[in-house]
Amino acid sequence: MTHRLPTVRTPAELRAAVRGWHAAGQRVALVPTMGALHAGHLALVTRGLELADVVVASIFVNPKQFGPGEDLERYPRDEAGDAVKLAGAGCSLLYAPDVAVMYPPGFASFVRVAGLPDLLCGRVRPGHFDSVATVVAKLLSAAQADHAVFGEKDWQQLAIIRRMAADLDIGTQIDGCGIVRDGDGLALSSRNAYLSADERVRALALPRTLDAVRTSILAGMPVAAALAAGERSIKAAGFARLDYLELVDGETLYSLGAAAPGARLMVAGIIGTTRLIDNIAV
Ligand code: PAF
C-alpha cells in the first residue's frame, strides 16, 4: 500500500511543521530537488534519515536557474509520482511551493557567492549558480532544518552551497551524498530521460573517460597529457561539445596540474541536445 505524502506549499507551513518536530526533540533533514526523482534523489532521502529523524523533501523547478534556450519548458515534472517515491523512501513531508510563492511581485534579492560560480559550468551558464544560491538560501531559510543533503554529481553546486551556508551563518549543516550510477556507470540524472538509446550508449564516454584519466594520473602520466587523451575519447564518442575536462581542488575548484589530496576530476559536455556532467575523486 502506498502512503499519501503530506504536502505543504508555503514557507510558513513548512516552518511550522519543522518547528513541531523540533519541539518533539526530533532532528530534521531537508532534501532540496527539482523533482523528476530517480534513485539518486532517493539516496539523498536515505542519507537524510541517517543524519536526522525526519526528512522533508522540496520540489521546485526554479525558473531562474535556467538560462535562455535551456530546458525549463521540457524539464520533466511529475509531482504525484515523485510524492509516491518520496513516501516509499521514508520522507515525511513534501514542500512544493508555486513560482508565485517563491518569487512574489516585488521580489528583488539574490545571493551571489564570489569566485566559485565563475569556474567550470559557470563559464557556459552565466548567472546559473547565483540563482541556485538564491533559491537554496530561501529553502534553507524557510525550513530551518538541522541538515540539508545535496548530490555530489553537482559537485560545483555543492561547493557553492557550502560556501554560502558558511558565509551567511545558516545554521543548517550541508551534507553531500555520493553519486548513484546505473549498472553501466552512467551517473543518474533527470536529464538522462532526454537521451536517445544511441546517445545513452555514447554518454558512457563520460564515466569511462573519468576512470581512464584518473588511472593515468595515478600511474604518473602528466595531468595535461591525461586530460588531452580524455578529451579525444569524449569527442570520439560523438559529444557535440566538451565544456571542460579538468582536475580541480574539490573545495576551491581551482585547476590543478597534479593529483593532490581532495582533487576532483570534473567533466561536462553535450551529447545530442543534452548537457551532462560527472565527476570523480582522484
Ligand atoms: O540540484 C538541484 O536539483 C537544484 O539545483 C536545487 C539544489 C534543488 C536548487 O534548485
Domain of 263, CATH number, reads: 3.30.1300.10
The per-residue pLDDT for 71 is 93
How confident is the model over 232-254, as pLDDT tens digits? 999 999 999 999 999 999 999 99
For ligand 1, is residue 135 a contact (CB within 6 Å)?
Answer: yes
**Which range marks the domain in which residue 266 is found?**
190-281
Residue 185 lies inside a defined structural domain of this protein: no
Cβ atoms of 252 and 220 closer than 8 Å: no
Is the domain of 16 the same as that of 150? yes
Across 25-34, average pLDDT: 98
Is residue 50 located within the same domain as residue 157?
yes
130 lines ligand 1 (CB under 6 A): no
DSSP letter (8 states) at residue 103: S
Cα separation, 28 vs 51, whole angstroms: 8
pLDDT of residue 220: 96
| Ligand 1 near 154 CB (within 6 A) | yes
Do 96 and 23 belong to one domain? yes
Domain boundary among 177, 205, 232: 177
On whether both 66 and 131 belong to a single domain, the answer is: yes
Residue 38: active-site member: no
Q: What is the 3-state secondary structure (H, E, C) of 31-43?
A: EEECCCCCHHHHH
Instruction: Please determine, for residue 2, whether its predicted confidence score (pLDDT) is greater than 80.
Output: no
Stretch 41-69: mean pLDDT = 97
Distance 210 CA to ligand 1 centre (A): 24
Q: Is the pLDDT of residue 102 over 60?
A: yes
Q: What is the residue with the minimal CA distance to atom 3 of ligand 1?
A: 33
Same domain, 155 and 18: yes
Residue 258 counted as domain residue: yes
| Residues in a beta bridge with 150 | 176
- The predicted-structure confidence for 174-197, as pLDDT tens digits, reads as follows 999 999 999 999 999 999 999 999
User: What percentage of the chain carries pLDDT values higher than 90?
Assistant: 99
Higher pLDDT, 8 or 3: 8
Beta strand 274-281 pairing with 263-271:
antiparallel
CA of residue 32 to ligand 1 center, whole Å: 6
Q: How many domains does the chain have?
A: 2
Q: Could you tell me if 244 and 144 lie in one domain? A: no
170 domain residue, yes or no: yes
My answer on whether 44 and 115 are in the same domain is: yes
Q: What is the mean pLDDT of residues 87-116?
A: 97
Asked if residue 75 and residue 160 are part of one domain, the reply reads yes
Q: Specify the CATH number for the domain of residue 173.
A: 3.40.50.620
What pLDDT score was predicted for residue 1?
52
The model's pTM: 0.97
182 lies in a domain? no
Please report the pLDDT score of residue 109 as a whole number: 96
Contact 142, 15 (CB under 8 A): yes
State whether 218 and 277 are in the same domain.
Answer: yes
**Distance between CA atoms of residues 245 and 266, nearest Å:** 6
Whether the per-residue pLDDT at 95 is higher than 90: the answer is yes
Q: pLDDT tens for residues 218-230?
A: 999 999 999 999 9
- Are 255 and 136 part of one and the same domain? no
Per-residue pLDDT band at 4 (split at 50, 70, 90): confident
Asked if 37 and 115 sit in the same domain, the reply is yes
Ligand 1 mean position, distance from CA 132 (Å): 7
